Structure 1
Amino acid sequence: MNLTYRQPGVVLTDHHFTVPLDHTDPQGEQIELYAREARAAEKDASALPWLLYLEGGPGFGARRFIGRQAWLDRALRDYRVLFLDQRGTGRSTPANRQTLPPRGGPARQAEYLTHFRADAIVRDCELIRPTVTGGGPWTVLGQSFGGFCTVHYLCAAPEGVEAAMIAGGLPSLDATAPEVYRAAFSRIERKNQEHYTRYPMDVDRARQIAEYIAERRPVLSGGHPLTLEAFQSLGLMLGTGEGSHRLHLLLEEAFVQTPGGPVLADAFEEQVRAELSFAGHPLYALLHEAIYAQDPASPTAWAAEGVRAEYPLFDAVKSLAGDGPLLFSGETIHPWHFTTDPALVPLAGTAELIAQRTGWGPLYDARTLAACTTPVAAVVYHDDMYVDTAHSLATARAIGGLRLWVTDEYEHDGLRASGTQVLDRLLSLVRGEV
C-alpha cells in the first residue's frame, strides 16, 4: 500500500517495488526499491508527466527536500517527480556493514555488490517504469553520478526516456580509472590554491592542525582515528559552492585553550567525524572506482592510491617537513579508508576484492549515443572538481543532438545551490526554447 501525506505545497506518496538482484536471473534473489513521489498540491496528478530524479553518488539515497525547496519548485510546475533511492541506498534494501556480512564472507559480499552499478540501476528504472507511468517514457534528471546513469540509460533503453537532463554528470565514455584520477588531482590542486588565496590564514591553520594530528594521533568519537590522510580528505568540501567557506569556518575553530595547552575542540572533532564518516553512504567508498571500470581485463586496483603517489605535493609528511602548504585531497577513495572509518572497517576484505576484480563490462556505447534522437541537455561546470570538464565536453560532442551549457557560475552542486535557475535553463535547452 502506498502511503500519501503532505508537506507545504507538496503531496508526497511512498512507492515500494520488488526487483531482481541480478536482472539476468529474474527468478533469483529479490531486493526492494523505495521511491518518493512529489507533486504540487494544486495540480491534478493525472494530467502531469513524470520526471525521474537520479541522485549523485554512488551510494546516496535520493535527496529529501522539505516542501518545494531548491529546484523541486521549478520541477513541480510541470511534472510529478519520482525520487528513486537507487539500489542499496536510503530506504531501498540497504548495503552496509550491518547487512553485508550476514550474506557470507568478503567474496560473497563482493559478488553481491557487482550488481550495484549504473547498468543495474537503469534496469531497475525500466522495470518499475510501466508501473509508475503506465508504460509511457519519462523525463530523466541526473545529478553527478545520476548523470552517469542517465547516459547509460540512453545507451541501454532510450525508448524509456522522453527527454534527459544532466547536471555535472557527463562521464568519460572510455577513460580508465587511473586516467580519471590523474585529471582529478590536477583539479584538486587548483581548488586548494583557490582556497588558500581566498583564506590565506588557513595555510598556517591547516599546518598547525596537521602537526597536532601527527604528534597526538587523536581518535574521534566512535573510534575513528584522525590520521593525516583523513584530515586531508576534508578537501572533498572544496568541490561545492559553499565548500571553501565551510572548510574555513571549520578550521578557524579547531583549537581550544586548556591549562595543558591547545587541544582540538570537541566541536571541531565532532564536525570532522561527521564529514569523514561513510556510515550514511558506504557504497560510495566500496564502488567509487568501480563506476569507472569498463575493461573486462583490468581491475581498478586502488587507482586513486596509485595516482596519488605521482603527486608528491599531496604527501602530508613531506609538506610538514618543508615549508609548502598542506594540500587537501578530494573525491578519491583509498585503502586507509577501510582501516580508519568504523563504518567501513568490517568491509575491508570486500573492498579489496572489488578493487582487484576483473570482468567489469562496458557501460556506454558510442555508436548508440551518436545516433541518439532523444532530446538531451547538459550543464558542465567550467572547473568541476568532481567530474573532469575535458571528459564531459568530449562526451557532449559524442551524444547526438545534445544541447550543452558550460558555466563558471556554479560548482558541482549548482543544480541544488542555484535554486530554480539551473533546472530552468536545462528545461529550456531540452525543449528547444533557447
Structure 2
Amino acid sequence: MTLRYNRPGQVCVEHRLDVPLDHDDPDGPRIELFAREVVAQHNADATDLPWLLFLQGGPGNAADRPSSSSAWLHQALRDYRVLLLDQRGTGLSTPLTRQSLAGLTDSEAAVYLRHFRADAIVRDAELVRRQLLGDRPWSLLGQSYGGFCAMTYLSLAPEGLAEVMIAGGLPSLTAHPDQVYRAAYPRALAHSERFYARYPGDRKVARQVVDHLADNDIRLPGGERLSAERFQMTGITLGATGGLDNLHHLLELAFIATPHGPVLSDTFLRGVDRMVSMADRPLYALLHESIYCQGAASAWSASRVSAEFDEFDLWHRAEVNFTAEMFHPWLFDQDPALRPLRGCADLLAAHDSWPRLYDPDRLAGNAVPVAAAIYFDDLYVDFEHSMVTAGQVRGLRPWVTNEHGHDGLGARPVVFDRLRAMVRGEV
C-alpha cells in the first residue's frame, strides 16, 4: 500500500509492507513495516536517481520525518532518493509499547521481542529493497545504532549495498555487554567533569536536587515519584550537541521560591520528564543491552558493572556524577511506561542464546565502500572499540573528529557532506 503527497520542495511516498516476525519462519506471524520515500521535487520523475536508506539511532527510535530539521536530509536530497525506514517496533512499524504488548504474558513478550534486533532489521531492509529497487543495491546511512545495523548489513547481505556511511556508530564486533559498560561509565564520568568545568556552580545545584528528592515525595507530570537515581539519568543528554548547555539551563530553573520555602519547579520537573521518560521509546530501555549480546546473556550488565564505579554513588560522595545509557532493573519499577514490562525485561536480560550479529571474516573481506565518522569524545559509543572495528573492516575509511557531538549528522550539514565525499573517494 502506498500514499503519495507533496511537501514544500519534496515529494513523499509512504510504503507499508508485511514481513515475517521471524525471518527463519516465513509462514509464521507477520508484522507491518512503514517506510517513507522522500525525493526533491525537481528529481521526482528521475528514474536513475540512487536510493539512500537511512537507519536511525536507538534502539527504539523512529526514523527522521521529512519535516525534521536534520541537516543531513537536506544535503542527501540533492543526490539521492531517500528512504526513511521506521525500524520494526518503532514509529509506524508495528510499534511496541506497554499498550501494544498488553495482551501477551511476560514470556510471550520476551520471545516476541527477541525478533527486534539488528539482524531482523537488516532482513526487513532487504525485503523492502527488493520490492522497491529489484536487484539494484542502495546506499546506506547509519546514525549511531543505525551504524551497528550497517555492520550487521555488511555481515549478512553486502550484495544489497552500494556504499555505506556511518556517523557515530561503529560497535565492537566481539565485546560482551560487561566490556561495553566498563568502558561506558568512565565516559559518563568524563562528561560529568566536562559539564562541571563549564558550569561549576551546578555542582551545588545538582547536590541540592538530590538531597531534596531524598527528603521529599516529588512527582513528575505522569504522577510517578522522581527518585534521585532517575534524576541522575539526565546525563543522557550530555553527549548531544548543546547537551551541556541544555542540562545547565534545566538546573538553573530547578528551584522556585514559595511561601513554604524553595521547591522543585514545574518547569524543571517537565524538563526532567522529557529527558528520562521512556514513554515514546520503551525499546530503548528494553533492548539496549541485548544489542551487544552474541551468544551470552547481559544479566543486567549496566547494573552489575555500576558496582565497580563508586564515583556514581549518590549517597557517600559530595559530587553528583551523571549517568547515560545505563538501564537498571529499578527503572522498570519507576517509569510507568516500563512498569508492565518488568517481567519481560528480566527474561530478556537472562536470555543467553542470542545469535551473532557480525561476521568478522566477511567484514575482513569487505568490498563495499565504507566511510565512518568516529567521534573522539562520544558519550554513547566507545572510541577505542570503534577504532578496533575500523581496522577490522576491509576498505573502511575512518574520520576521527572531536568537532561534533554524537548527533553531529543531524546538527551540521558538514558531517554528511564529508562522509559522502569520503565514501566516493573525493577526499
Counterpart for residue 311 of structure 2? 313
Distance in 2 (CA, whole Å) between partners of 1:285 and 1:49 is: 35
**What residue in structure 2 maps to residue 376 of structure 1?**
370
Counting only pairs closer than 5 Å after superposition, residues 43-54 of structure 1 correspond to structure 2 as 43=43, 44-54=45-55
Aligned to 1:88: 89
2:75 corresponds to which residue? 74
CA distance in 2, matches of 1:119, 1:334: 25
Picking from 413, 420, 423, the partner of 2:416 is 423
Give the Cα–Cα distance (whole angstroms) in 1 for the partners of residues 133 and 56 of structure 2. Answer: 20
Counterparts of 2:406 and 2:298 in 1: how far apart (Å)?
24
TM-fit CA distance, 1:67:
6.7
Residue 278 of structure 2: aligned partner: 278
1:214 corresponds to? 214
Matched, 1:59 2:60: yes
| Deviation for aligned residue 1:45 | 3.5
Report if aligned partners of 2:64, 2:70 keep a CA contact under 8 Å in 1: no
**SS at 1:377 equivalent:** strand
The residue type paired with residue 378 of structure 2 is D
Identity of aligned residues (%): 52
Contact 2:312 2:322 in 1 (8 A): yes
Distance in 2 between the 1:238 and 1:406 partners?
A: 20
Residue deviations 1:319-352 (CA, integer Å, cap 9, x gap): 2xxxx31101111111011001000000000000
Tell me if structure 1 keeps the 8 A contact 2:372–2:398. yes
Deviations 1:396-427 (A, max 9, x none): 00000111100010011110111x20010001
Cα distance in 2, alignment partners of residues 268 and 369 from structure 1: 47
* CA–CA distance in structure 2, aligned partners of residues 68 and 248 of structure 1: 23
Report if the CA contact (8 A) 2:69-2:410 is conserved. Answer: no
Q: TM-score scaled by structure 1?
A: 0.97
Match of 1:432 in 2: 425
Deviation at 1:47, TM superposition (A): 2.7
* CA displacement, residues 352-381 of structure 1 (integer Å, 9 cap, x when unaligned): 000011101111111100000000110000
Give the corresponding residue for 2:3: 3
Change (3 A) 1:371 1:13: same
**Is the contact between residue 158 and residue 368 of structure 2 (CA under 8 Å) also seen in structure 1?**
yes
SS at match of 1:4: strand
Residue identity in the other structure for 1:56: G
Paired residues for 1:305-344 under 5 Å: 305-319=303-317, 324-344=318-338
- Check whether the contact 2:164–2:370 (CA below 8 A) recurs between aligned residues: yes
* Aligned residue in 1 for 2:261: 261
Give the equivalent residue in structure 2 for 1:385: 379
**1:304 aligned residue:** 302
- Distance (Å, rounded) in 2 between the aligned partners of 1:285 and 1:340: 13
Shift of 1:135: 2.3
Matched, 1:198 2:207: no
Deviation at 1:69, TM superposition (A): 4.5
Q: What is the distance in 2 between the residues matched to 1:422 and 1:347?
A: 37
Answer yes or no: is the 8 Å Cα contact 1:221–1:270 preserved in 2: yes
> Hey, what's the Cα distance between the residues in 1 that align with 2:217 and 2:166?
42
**Aligned-residue offset at 1:79:** 0.3
Q: Matched residue of 2:324: which SS?
A: coil
CA distance in 2, matches of 1:187, 1:67: 29
Contact kept, 8 Å, 1:191 with 1:239, in 2: the verdict is: yes
Instruction: Letter of the 2:225 partner, please give it.
Output: P
Tell whether the 8 Å contact from 1:39 to 1:45 is kept in structure 2 after alignment.
Answer: no
CA positional deviation for 1:147: 0.3
Contact preservation (8 Å) 1:45, 1:80: no
CA distance in 2, matches of 1:245, 1:39: 35
* SS of residue paired to 1:328: coil
CA contact (8 A) 1:224 1:273 kept: no
Q: Distance in 1 between matches of 2:4 and 2:66?
A: 16
Query: What residue is the counterpart of 2:342 in the other structure?
Result: 348
Equivalent of residue 362 in structure 1, options 356, 361, 369: 356
Matched-pair contact (CA < 8 Å) for 1:377–1:429? yes
> What are the ranges of 5 or more consecutive residues in structure 1 without an aligned counterpart?
none
Give the Cα–Cα distance (whole angstroms) in 2 for the partners of residues 53 and 332 of structure 1: 26
Q: Following TM superposition, by how much is the alpha carbon of 1:68 offset from its aligned partner in structure 2, in angstroms?
A: 6.9
Q: CA deviation at 1:284?
A: 0.6
8 Å contact 1:14–1:34 — kept in the other structure?
yes
Aligned 8 A contact 1:97 1:346 in 2: yes
CA RMSD of aligned residues (A): 1.0
Render the CA deviation track for 1:241-293: whole Å, top value 9, x for unaligned: 11110000000001111100011111111111121111111011100000000
Tell me the residue number matched to 1:240.
240
Indicate how the Cα distance of structure 1 residues 67 and 325 shifts in structure 2: closer, same or farther if over 3 A, else same. closer
Contact 1:54–1:84 under 8 Å retained in 2: yes
2:135 corresponds in structure 1 to 135
SS of residue paired to 2:5: strand
1:220 counterpart letter in structure 2: L
* Counterparts of 2:379 and 2:6, CA distance in 1: 37
**Equivalents in 2 of 1:211, 1:7: separation in Å?**
50
The code of the aligned residue for 1:337 comes to L
1:192-217 deviations in Å (ceiling 9; x for gaps): 00000000010011011111001003
Q: Distance in 2 between matches of 1:134 and 1:365?
A: 25
Moved over 3 A (4+): none
Does the residue aligned with 2:238 lie in a helix, a strand or coil?
helix
Aligned to 1:186: 186
Aligned-partner Cα distance in 1 for 2:224–2:161: 43
| d(CA) in 1 for partners of 2:375, 2:102 | 39
SS at match of 2:388: helix
Tell me the distance in 2 between the aligned counterparts of 1:211 and 1:117.
39
Q: TM-score by structure 2 length?
A: 0.98
Tell me the distance in 1 between the aligned counterparts of 2:109 and 2:15. 27
- Measured against aligned partners, the alpha-carbon deviations of 1:33-75 in whole angstroms (never above 9, x if no partner) come to 0011110011134231100000000011101241774111110
Contact in 1 for aligned 2:155/2:359 (Cα 8 Å): yes
Query: What does residue 21 of structure 1 align with?
Result: 21
